[in-house]
Amino acid sequence: MKTRFARVAMCAAISIGIGGAAVQGAPRYTLAQATEKTEKTSGQGEGVVRAVDADERRIMITHGPVAGPLEMSPMTMAFRVAPNVDLASLSKGMKIKFTISRDAKGLYVIEDVRPDKP
Ligand SMILES: [Cu+2]
Kindly report, residue by residue over 23-71, the tens digit of the pLDDT.
444 444 444 444 444 346 899 999 999 999 999 999 999 999 999 899 9
Same domain, 15 and 66: no
| Residues 8, 67: Cα–Cα separation, whole Å | 36
21 Cα–ligand 1 center, Å: 25
Cβ–Cβ < 8 Å for 57, 31: no
Same domain, 25 and 52: no
53 Cα–ligand 1 center, Å: 17
Element (H, E) at 64: none
Same domain, 91 and 51: yes
Kindly report, residue by residue over 81-95, the tens digit of the pLDDT.
999 999 999 999 999
DSSP state, 62? E
What percentage of the chain's residues is helix, strand, coil (to nearest 5)? 30, 35, 35
| Residues 99, 88: Cα–Cα separation, whole Å | 18
Enter the pTM of the model. Answer: 0.65
Residue range of the domain that includes 25 = 2-36
Same domain, 53 and 74: yes
| Residues 26, 6: Cα–Cα separation, whole Å | 29
Q: What is the CATH number of the domain that holds 64?
A: 2.40.50.320
DSSP state, 67? B
The count of domains in the chain is 2
116 Cα–ligand 1 center, Å: 18
Same domain, 32 and 51: no
Same domain, 19 and 60: no
Same domain, 31 and 51: no
